[in-house]
Amino acid sequence: MQDFVFQNATKVIFGKGQEQAVGTEAAAYGKKLLLHYGGGSIKESGLYDRVVQSVREQGIEIIELGGVQPNPRVSLVREGISLCREHNIDFILAVGGGSVIDSAKAIAAGVKYEGDVWDFFTGKSAVTDCLPLGVVLTIPAAGSETSNGTVITAEDGWYKRATGHPSMRPRFAILNPELTYTLPAYQTACGITDMMAHILERYFTNEKNVELTDRLCEATLKTIINNAHTVLDEPENYHARAEIMWAGTVAHNDWLSTGRVGDWGSHDIEHEISGIYDIAHGAGLAIVFPAWMTYVYKHDLNRFAQFAHRVWDVEIDLNDLEKTALKGIEKTKQFFHSIGMPVSLRQVDIGDDRIDEMAKKGTERGPLGNFVKLHEEDVQKILQLAW
């Protein structure tokens, strides 16, 4: 196990009706608030009205910016930065899922920076400070409600890139599982895949002697797997929704990262797919992860066999660890398929004509991943396996 420093300052407020507390929480940070959200779903559900009422009861002035898309765009981030500066905004409130939260984080960082916010995502500059922000979560998936990172897409070239800083962690995150009842099944499944991928990125590490975090990763994965079909079959099952929602947060709040170095190659490969083709991030991960596993599993047969046994209950064949490892990979792929996820690029009508382009763009700044370093030709082969 490596040495580590763990700190996550986000206050999590979990349970039924907790969005009513948003005004009280936001009031601690000022009197002018940017309310950031996506489309019309929060208005149709009544959540928008409840949030606005709670905030206004605290005497807080609201400036609104809606229109966040999946794979959030840097153009809207720039618009948000201008609004914050024009109105001297004290605090940003993101009401939505990971895309809304990521957009809010980028705005919060850009307000404090004299240059263009995209500099943070290209490595030309580093985030040093952010406006404070809070979250009312509506889609359990990205874990952005307690993480220190953000992912944004630039329309110029369709690059999808990440950046992060401790100041990006939301000051509070309100999680009410009831707000997820009306999510479409496909969106729910994408979220399940996304949170599983966050755990898998951490699980496949070269670090030895990390039994505790191995077990925490495995338990969180099994909890998601055990509740996934329940939330799809019974959308208003509060207890299953609560398990999934909290698991999504735990998957990406850095508890599972302590003492180990994760991989993140699959995420970087998926960013090239969704950056160009604008598919759901979770769907892209369901396609990439089994292909990545198939490409790298021989690097550590013991870890892949452990994964198969502890997560998927595959009996370990001590005389043939490779067989055990491959069964675990197949079980992963079958599970993604069982919840309605695509498991190949062809299933989402993506051809193989831009594989070389995606591999080249993805490795422009060097090889991807840590478990196995992936160069341009490796990424090409993984995408070919995914096709």
Four-point Cα dihedral 171, 173, 37, 249, nearest 10: 120
Q: Domain limits of the chain?
A: 11-178, 183-386
Alpha carbon distance 180, 139 (integer Å):
6
What is this structure's pTM? 0.95
Alpha carbon distance 73, 315 (integer Å):
45
Q: What is the overall mean pLDDT for the chain? A: 97
Question: What pLDDT score does 280 carry?
Answer: 94
Q: Is the pLDDT of residue 40 over 90?
A: no
The pairing of beta strand 61-65 with beta strand 32-37: parallel
Selected from 3.40.190.10, 3.40.50.1970, 3.90.226.30, 3.90.1150.10, the CATH number assigned to the domain covering 11-178 reads 3.40.50.1970
Selected from 3.40.710.10, 3.90.226.10, 2.40.128.130, 1.20.1090.10, the CATH number assigned to the domain covering 183-386 reads 1.20.1090.10
The predicted-structure confidence for 87-139, as pLDDT tens digits, reads as follows: 999 999 999 999 999 999 999 999 999 999 999 999 999 999 999 999 999 99
CA distances in angstroms from 329 to 90, 243, 324, 368, listed in the order given:
47, 24, 9, 21
How many C-beta atoms lie closer than 10 Å to residue 5's C-beta?
Answer: 5
The predicted-structure confidence for 354-383, as pLDDT tens digits, reads as follows: 999 999 999 999 999 999 999 999 999 999
The predicted-structure confidence for 208-244, as pLDDT tens digits, reads as follows: 999 999 999 999 999 999 999 999 999 999 999 999 9
Q: Collapse the DSSP code of 33 into the 3-class scheme (helix H, G, I; strand E, B; otherwise coil) and give the result.
A: strand
* 172 strand-pairing partners: 11, 134
Average pLDDT over residues 256-274: 97
